[in-house]
């Protein structure tokens, strides 16, 4: 009787079998019924079992579960598998999961192939189970054909600078910088404006905690400026970048503040030019030498060069004339990763939209928040010389727009997304006004109210208890804001068809109309081009996967933080920033990064140096022609820099001699898959 095999015996057996023959295991997942309710998974497994080199086929309710993965690991050890295929959900969801599974079992992770039979088959053919079953067989058969030609690959390993660049000095950028530095990495933070704080600096309190926004922001800024590993450049922006993850090189330009601390107050006093104050959303004016807000950082004033004629400012201080100039400087930085925390723009209503720009009594919610802050402690409020007794607040201005109902943006698109934070912010402001002035009547005119966060619904409950009157309109029957007839007590009429009263048409006389404007992506086209990142259909910056890779872009080493990625409140922005910081820290902390090996590979025997591949490549320095000596002759051949290549395959199609392939997705593998799909599967009884 033979002795039982030990684990070491099995590994030795696997090595022998790996060298002698291809042994494939194929696993078909029920996906909790998502696949098996349509596809006859057992029939698929039985049919694929007749394929050449397939030594075992199995099905399971959930292959990605611990039990499913353990099954694969055991089969690799017991049956000497050296190729594994799983037919399940999309590769974007669990390809990495199963690569980890085969790696734990001792296989090269790139000897695994994933077949998506949920999104590509069962979900789209739910009305044709037999056809879906045949399609699953063909898709897995193609996977088997490719697997026969798979080669073990190695990840691309690169040295990495333990240094991160954070673009944006709002709450997301500040938090990301602090979290990265706390993990022992150097951080350079760039802020385009002269002062840190971003949009959060314009708020008084935060929901749902009611905490002071200023206090929380100042505490975060103090933590950031006190950290020895963080370097801050204000009035600075990225003007050029090249390189790859772990080794990016950037060109930075920094504009001067224009004044030094020793003449700061005197210069502010002497300055005579005033402009609308953006901090107060143009409700007040400020000088072009200014501090953005009380307690701002840096405390040194800055010159607003954009509002200075010819970028110069002439002053006279104590009888001495001087000219202030922007003496900008440029410098280079090398770093390993980038956090993009560029924030958002507020929606600017069109001229005449709900009377905006035509009626003085129509303002935006951000303006209203600053208005309340400017008049804190007042026993009564007035606007444009009239006391405020009735206020209307209109939701979804610049959000959830509909084509041919709302006016599009200059790029032709409407903002069809929900800005998410506006509803709670509107109710928050309404409750604050009621607490200060209980006799003011507030009319909340909404399409839908989405108080989605924990504790946010309480603002709606509180507003109801405060006797805020709610009126609901439909998205294709927008409210109308018009001037009240001359001599009326209130200045404006809001006309709305209210569907809380079964479509009754109402006219509401008010003294102030507050438009709850949404948020929009910031205009950063030059930065998008430099970083080679992509916006989504909503024009915010796009992540790779909303669940599995929620802060990563398609460019290795470039991650997103906060509302550059989409509408977020302060809590969400901070959480996203911490996630981005964690991703950067994991990437750079070892001083080395690993990239997927799916990059172009040159067959020098076939390459004739025409340079066609270089001409069609869209990625800087990904492929170049180099002079080399072959068989005693100097020739030019294509050379790939793996760190810059994204494996798009454009060069493969352009090469006239078929000298190029993408590792892991070669032309031979594609051809084998196409042939397998075209062949009629073997007939197998049910």
Predicted local distance difference test score (pLDDT) of residue 19: 54
CA torsion through residues 401, 404, 410, 412, sign: positive
Confidence of residue 16 (pLDDT cuts 50, 70, 90): very low
As beta bridge partners, residue 387 has 382
* Token digits of residue 604: 């020098």
Q: Is the pLDDT assigned to residue 457 strictly greater than 60? A: yes
Confidence of residue 620 (pLDDT cuts 50, 70, 90): confident
Domain 346-520 has CATH 1.10.357.10: no
Rounded-to-integer distance, Cα 58 and Cα 49, Å: 9
In tens, the pLDDT along 65-77 reads: 999 999 999 999 9
Per residue in 179-228, pLDDT tens? 999 999 999 999 999 999 999 999 999 998 899 999 999 999 999 999 99
pLDDT tens per residue across span 152-186:
999 999 999 999 999 999 999 999 999 999 999 99
Are 638 and 614 contacting, i.e. CB atoms less than 8 angstroms apart? Answer: yes
State yes or no: pLDDT of 686 exceeds 70.
no
Give me the pLDDT at residue 229, please.
Answer: 98
Q: What per-residue confidence (pLDDT) applies to 580? A: 98
216 vs 213: CA distance, rounded Å: 5
Percentage of residues in the chain having pLDDT higher than 70: 96
Please tell me the distance from the alpha carbon of residue 423 to that of residue 412, in angstroms, as a whole number: 26
- The percentage of the chain sitting over the pLDDT mark of 90, rounded to a whole number, equals 90
Write the DSSP symbol of residue 489.
Answer: S
Q: At what angle do helices 171-182 and 570-588 cross, to 10 degrees?
A: 30
Per-domain residue ranges for the chain? 7-153, 163-255+329-343+522-592, 261-325, 346-520, 600-663
Q: Would you list the DSSP string of 590-604?
A: TSEEEE-S--EEE-T
Residue 451 banded pLDDT, cuts 50, 70, 90: very high
Please give the distance of CA 672 from its chain centroid, rounded to a whole number.
37
What's the CA gap between 461 and 515, in Å, rounded?
21
**Does 7-153 match 600-663 in CATH topology?**
no
- Tell me the pLDDT of the chain averaged across its residues: 94
- Give the right CATH number for 600-663 from 3.30.70.20, 3.40.50.720, 3.40.50.450, 2.60.120.10: 3.30.70.20
pLDDT of residue 479 exceeding 60:
yes
Neighbouring CB atoms inside 10 A of 54's CB total: 22
Given pLDDT bands bounded at 50, 70 and 90, which one contains residue 8? very low
Q: What digits encode the pLDDT tens for the residues 339-378?
A: 999 999 999 999 999 999 999 999 999 999 999 999 999 9
Tokens coding 447: 């399409």
* Residue 516: closest CA among 451, 432, 422, 431: 422
Q: d(Cα 556, Cα 643) in Å, to the nearest integer? A: 9
Written as six digits, the tokens of 184 are 């022992």
Cis peptide preceding 208, ω within 30 of 0: yes
Q: Is the pLDDT of residue 329 over 70?
A: yes
CA atoms of 287 and 195, how far apart (whole Å): 15
CA 398 to chain centre: 21
**Residue 456 token pair:** 């946010």
Give CATH for domain 7-153. Answer: 3.40.1400
Domain 163-255+329-343+522-592 has CATH 3.30.1330.30: no
């Amino acid at each position: 009787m033979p002795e039982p095999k030990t684990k070491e015996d099995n590994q030795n057996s696997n090595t022998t079998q790996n060298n002698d023959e291809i042994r494939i295991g194929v696993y078909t997942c029920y996906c909790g019924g998502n696949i098996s309710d349509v596809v006859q998974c057992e029939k698929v497994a039985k049919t694929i079992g007749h394929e050449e080199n397939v030594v075992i086929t199995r099905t399971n309710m959930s292959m990605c579960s611990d039990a499913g993965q353990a099954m694969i690991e055991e089969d690799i050890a017991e049956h000497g598998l050296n190729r594994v295929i799983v037919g399940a959900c999309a590769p974007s969801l669990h390809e990495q999961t199963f690569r980890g599974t085969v790696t734990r079992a001792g296989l090269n992770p790139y000897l695994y192939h994933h077949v998506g039979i949920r999104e590509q088959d069962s979900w789209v053919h739910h009305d044709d189970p037999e056809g879906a079953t045949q399609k699953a067989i063909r898709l897995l058969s193609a996977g088997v054909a490719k697997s026969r030609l798979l080669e073990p690959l190695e990840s691309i390993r690169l040295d990495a600078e333990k240094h991160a660049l954070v673009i944006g000095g709002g709450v997301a950028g500040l938090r990301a910088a602090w979290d990265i530095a706390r993990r022992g990495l150097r951080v350079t933070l760039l802020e385009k404006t002269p002062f840190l704080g971003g949009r959060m600096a314009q708020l008084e309190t935060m929901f749902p905690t009611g905490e002071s926004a200023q206090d929380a922001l100042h505490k975060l800024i103090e933590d950031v400026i006190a950290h020895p590993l963080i370097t801050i450049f204000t009035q600075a922006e990225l003007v050029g970048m090249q390189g790859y993850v772990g080794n990016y090189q950037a060109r930075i330009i920094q504009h001067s503040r224009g004044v030094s601390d020793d003449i700061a107050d005197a210069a502010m006093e002497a300055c005579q030019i005033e402009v609308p104050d953006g901090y107060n959303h143009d409700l007040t004016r400020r000088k072009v030498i200014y501090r953005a807000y009380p307690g701002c950082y840096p405390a040194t004033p800055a010159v607003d060069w954009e509002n200075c004629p010819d970028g110069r400012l002439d002053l006279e201080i104590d009888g001495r004339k001087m000219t202030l100039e922007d003496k900008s400087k440029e410098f280079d930085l090398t770093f390993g990763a980038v956090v993009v925390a560029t924030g958002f723009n507020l929606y600017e209503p069109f001229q005449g939209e709900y009377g905006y720009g035509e009626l003085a009594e129509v303002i935006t919610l951000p303006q209203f928040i600053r208005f309340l802050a400017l008049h804190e402690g007042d026993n009564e409020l007035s606007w444009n010389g009239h006391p405020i007794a009735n206020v209307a607040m209109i939701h979804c201005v610049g959000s959830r727009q509909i084509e041919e109902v709302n006016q599009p943006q200059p790029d032709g698109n409407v903002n069809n997304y929900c800005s998410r934070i506006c509803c709670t912010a509107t109710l928050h402001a309404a409750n604050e006004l009621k607490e200060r002035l209980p006799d003011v009547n507030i009319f909340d005119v909404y399409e839908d109210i989405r108080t989605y966060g924990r504790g946010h619904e309480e603002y709606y409950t509180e507003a109801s208890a405060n006797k805020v009157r709610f009126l609901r309109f439909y998205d294709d029957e927008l409210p109308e804001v018009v001037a009240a007839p001359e001599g009326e007590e209130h200045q404006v009429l809001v006309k709305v068809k209210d569907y809380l009263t079964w479509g009754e048409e109402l006219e509401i006389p008010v003294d102030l109309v507050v438009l709850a404007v949404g948020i929009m992506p910031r205009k950063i086209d030059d930065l998008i081009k430099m970083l080679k990142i992509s916006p989504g259909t909503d024009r915010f910056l796009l992540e790779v996967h909303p669940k599995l890779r929620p802060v990563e872009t398609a460019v290795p080493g470039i991650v997103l933080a906060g509302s550059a990625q989409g509408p977020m409140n302060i809590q969400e922005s901070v959480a996203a920033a911490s996630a981005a910081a964690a991703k950067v820290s994991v990437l750079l902390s070892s001083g080395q990064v690993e990239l997927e090996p799916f990059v172009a590979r040159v067959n020098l025997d076939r390459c004739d140096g025409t340079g066609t591949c270089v001409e069609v490549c869209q990625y800087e320095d990904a492929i170049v022609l180099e002079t080399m000596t072959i068989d005693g002759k100097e020739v030019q051949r294509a050379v790939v820099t793996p760190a810059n290549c994204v494996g798009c395959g454009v060069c493969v199609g352009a090469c006239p001699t078929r000298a190029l392939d993408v590792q892991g997705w070669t032309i031979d593998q594609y051809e084998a898959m196409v042939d397998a799909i075209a062949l009629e599967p073997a007939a197998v009884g049910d």
